[in-house]
Amino acid sequence: MKKLSKIVMLGAASAFTLSAPTPAMASADPLLGEIMTVGFNFCPRGWGETAGALLPISTNTALFSLLGTTYGGDGRTTFALPDLRGRSSIGVGNGPGLSPIRWGDRGGSETRVLTLNQLPSHNHTGNLHAENTADSNTGNPNNAALARSTTQIYNNTVAPNAGVTFAAGTVTTNNNGGGQPFQIRDPYLGMYKCIAMQGIFPSRN
């Protein structure tokens, strides 16, 4: 009976060992040309900072065969690493409703100045002040002057309303705005991005 209990216990322990999940572990060797982001302020051994550095082809033939002159260099003696300083990477291809992106394309800017054609449709109010005068006589000498040289030098006849016709013209309003650039980039957090200078040469699917 004791022997049978030991066999049962050993079988249960074996089943538990087989069913226990194994911890996920990253590969010790990265893929050559792989890019990673680190939280510390340097790139580890075997990795280079993605700052657009020019490298000699003669000592980096494997990495050059992957990158070519996509990121710079003359292709004869030098090639360049990607320069991700102040830039974000974006997937290549043509997403629905989006512009096509090719490998190595660069674009965008940190600031923008709106042009007249980019402003939304709007209007401004212009105030026009006009005055009209008409000949009139008054019988009250206060604040008045002699108007005509007759015996009745003062006349209390009410002057008629006179219609005024304006000529066509243009009203110009004052300019507004300073025309200064403004930032258009997303909120950001500066971190180091490193590219694998050594590692496993990647194979295509």
pLDDT in tens, 30-40: 999 999 999 99
Model pLDDT for residues 170-198, shown as the tens digit of each residue? 777 777 777 888 888 889 999 999 999 99
Tell which residue, 187, 191, 196, has the closest CA to residue 82.
196
pTM, 2 dp = 0.62
Residue 49 is which amino acid? E
Q: How far is CA 107 from the centre of its chain?
A: 10
Q: Which long-range contacts (CB under 8 A, 24 or more apart) does 200-203 make?
A: 200/27, 200/29, 200/30, 200/31, 200/32, 201/31, 201/32, 201/62, 201/66, 202/31, 202/32, 202/33, 202/66
Beta bridge partners of 193: 37
Q: What is the CATH number of domain 30-87+191-205?
A: 3.90.1340
201 band by pLDDT with thresholds 50, 70 and 90: very high
